[in-house]
Amino acid sequence: MQAPFERKPRTDEEGSLLERAARLLPAAAKTATMSLDGQMVIAEAHGSKIVDRSGNEYIDYLLGSGPVFLGHAHPVVVAAVQAAAPQGSSYMLPGEDSILLAEEIVQATPCAERITYGSTGTDAVYFALRLARAFRGREKILKFEGAYHGQADSMLMSNQWTRTPEAFPKPSPNSLGIPGHCEEEVLVAPWNDIEQTARLIAKHRDELACVICEPMQRTLPPRGRFLADLREITLEAEIPLIFDEVVTGFRLGYGSAQGYYGVTPDLCALGKSLSGGHPISVVAGKEDFMVFAEGVRKITGDYVSLTGTFSGNPISCAAGRAVLGELRREGAYETLFERGERLRQGLKKSFDEAGIAVQITGEPPAFEPWFSDEPVLDFRSSQRADIGLGHRFAQALFERGVIKGHEKFFVSMAHSDADIDFTLDAARDAIAELARAR
C-alpha cells in the first residue's frame, strides 16, 4: 500500500518560477475555476504520476487534459519518438508512418474511408465543418448546448463555460473577440432532447451545413436512443452529421464512441488519445466528403483547403502508431474499464456514506461527479449542480496527492489497482472534510 501523501514544502526555486509565470503567462495565474492554476510547476511525469518542482508526486487524472491515455512517457511511445526524431521532424510530404497510421485509423474507425491530418483538435473540428459546408453548399451549423468543440470563432459558443444561456437556438459566445457574424452561423439545441433537436433541424433544414456533437458530451452520455435518432433524422434530412471525438476517440474503445455506441457519423474529428501527447489530430470520413481535399482539385477550384505546416508531422505519426499498437493489445480496454468503474463506484459510495448528494456521469474512462440531487442529463441540469463544491473537492484531493482533471477524471491505461486504492482512500478523507465543513 502506498503511504499517505505528505506535501513537501514549496522550494524557493518553484516559488520563483510561479511568480515569473504569473507575470509572463496571464493564463497561468490562479483562478477560481481551474483549481490547480498557479499552484505548481511540473518537473516530470511517468505512467500515472506527475511530479512538481518541489518533489511532490501526485496521481494524475488530468493527463494533459486527456491525451496521455497510456500514461506519461510510456516506454513504447518514447522509443518510437526517439527512433523517429533523428530522421527529421517536419517534411510537408508524407512519410511512411503517416501512411501506415492513416491505414490503422481507417481500419479502426467506422466512418473513416479516408483521413486528413491536423495538429490540434481545433483544426480537426473546423476542417470537418469546412468539408460539410462544401458538401452541402450551406453555412449554418447546429451544435448542442454545453458541448466544447475547440477554439475556432464559430465553435466557441454555448459551450460548458456559458454563464447565461440564451433561449434555443440562439448561441451565446464564450469569449470576447468573436466577430458578430459568427453568432449568425450557429444554432444551439439542447443535448439529449431529441424532440426539440428534430424540430430545429426540420425548421432550419435548408440553411444547415451540418449537425455537430460530442457523442458523449463532456461526460454526459447520450440517453437512450438519442444518438441513433439523431443519425436517422440527419440522414433523412440529408444533413451531414459530425462526431467530435477529440475526447472520446480511441478512449471509449478502439472504434471510438461511434463503435462504442454503435452509431456512425459522416465525419469525425480525432485527437488527444491518438498520440500519447504528441500534437496531431485527424478528420476522418466518408469518401464523398474527403474527396474535396484532393490536391488535384486545387486546379479545378472545387477544393477544400485542409493544410497546416505541422499536420501529420513524422514524430507525432510515429507516436500515434506506437499508441495504437498498445491499444490493440488483448484486454487493454477491459482492464481500463474495470479500474475506471471501480473508481467511480468507490467515489459514489464515499459520497453516499457522507450524505453528500452526487451524480456521477460519464463512462469508466472519463467521468465527473456533479454535486446535485437531480439527474444531470444536459447542460442546464449540470449548471444547477454545486460547482463550488466541485472545486473544493478537487482542491481537497490535490492536498492529498491526487490531481483531478478540470472537468473530469480521465482514467489511463497506466492507472494501477494500487493507484485506484490510493485515490479512494484520499477521496474518503477529502469527502469527510467536505462533509464536516458543510
Ligand X SMILES: Cc1ncc(COP(=O)(O)O)c(C=O)c1O
Which of 115, 156, 227, 246: binder of ligand X (CB under 6 A)?
246
Contact between 401 and ligand X (CB under 6 A)? no
**Among 218, 239, 221, CA closest to 230:** 239
Class of residue 186 by CB neighbours under 10 A (exposed 0-12, middle 13-18, buried 19+): buried
Contact between 212 and ligand X (CB under 6 A)? no
Which residue lies nearer to ligand X by CB, 271 or 401? 271
**Total interface residues for ligand X by CB under 6 A:** 13
Active site residues: 148, 244, 272
Which of 84, 247, 403, 424: binder of ligand X (CB under 6 A)?
247
Angle at 278 between CA 272 and CA 281, to 5 degrees: 50
Strand arrangement, sheet containing 409-410: 359-363, 366-370, 409-410
- The closest residue (CB) to ligand X is 121
- 275 DSSP assignment: G
Contact between 280 and ligand X (CB under 6 A)? no
Report 11-30 residues binding ligand X (CB under 6 A): none
Measured from the CB of residue 244, what is the shortest distance to ligand X in angstroms?
5
Under 8 Å between Cβ of 189 and 196:
yes
Which residue lies nearer to ligand X by CB, 155 or 209? 155
Interacting span for ligand X (CB under 6 A) from 227-235, 244-252, 368-376, 387-395: 244-252
Which residue lies nearer to ligand X by CB, 91 or 161? 161
Which residue lies nearer to ligand X by CB, 246 or 290? 246
Report 131-170 residues binding ligand X (CB under 6 A): 148-150
Measured from the CB of residue 257, what is the shortest distance to ligand X in angstroms?
10
CA distances from 17 to 23, 54, 294 (A): 10, 11, 47
Which residue lies nearer to ligand X by CB, 52 or 123? 123
Contact between 120 and ligand X (CB under 6 A)? yes
Residue with cell 463555460: 161
**Among 350, 348, 432, 359, CA closest to 392:** 432
Residue with cell 510547476: 41
Which of 45, 125, 213, 306: binder of ligand X (CB under 6 A)?
125
Beta-carbon contacts of residue 229 (< 8 Å; ≥ 6 apart): 194, 198
d(C-alpha 389, C-alpha 438), whole Å? 10
Measured from the CB of residue 123, what is the shortest distance to ligand X in angstroms?
7
Measured from the CB of residue 271, what is the shortest distance to ligand X in angstroms?
5
Contact between 214 and ligand X (CB under 6 A)? yes
Class of residue 51 by CB neighbours under 10 A (exposed 0-12, middle 13-18, buried 19+): middle
Per-residue cell: 342: 471501480
Which of 48, 56, 109, 122: binder of ligand X (CB under 6 A)?
122
* Contact string 52-91 vs ligand X (x = CB under 6 A): -------------x--------------------------
Beta-carbon contacts of residue 251 (< 8 Å; ≥ 6 apart): 66, 69, 272, 273, 365, 366
Element (H, E) at 370: strand 366-370
Element (H, E) at 187: strand 186-189
d(C-alpha 32, C-alpha 416), whole Å? 31
Which residue lies nearer to ligand X by CB, 255 or 271? 271
Contact between 350 and ligand X (CB under 6 A)? no
Measured from the CB of residue 6, what is the shortest distance to ligand X in angstroms?
33
Measured from the CB of residue 281, what is the shortest distance to ligand X in angstroms?
6
Interacting span for ligand X (CB under 6 A) from 13-21, 118-126, 224-232, 418-426: 118-126
Measured from the CB of residue 102, what is the shortest distance to ligand X in angstroms?
19
Sign of torsion, CA 34 278 252 336?
negative
Which of 71, 95, 121, 277: binder of ligand X (CB under 6 A)?
121
Under 8 Å between Cβ of 310 and 119:
yes
Q: Crossing angle for the helix pair 417-437 and 332-354, nearest 10 degrees?
A: 20
Beta-carbon contacts of residue 74 (< 8 Å; ≥ 6 apart): 47, 276, 322, 323, 326, 414
Which of 265, 271, 312, 364: binder of ligand X (CB under 6 A)?
271
Interacting span for ligand X (CB under 6 A) from 52-60, 119-127, 235-243, 397-405: 119-127
Measured from the CB of residue 403, what is the shortest distance to ligand X in angstroms?
17
| Residues making contact with ligand X (CB under 6 A) | 65, 120-122, 125, 148-150, 214, 244, 246-247, 271
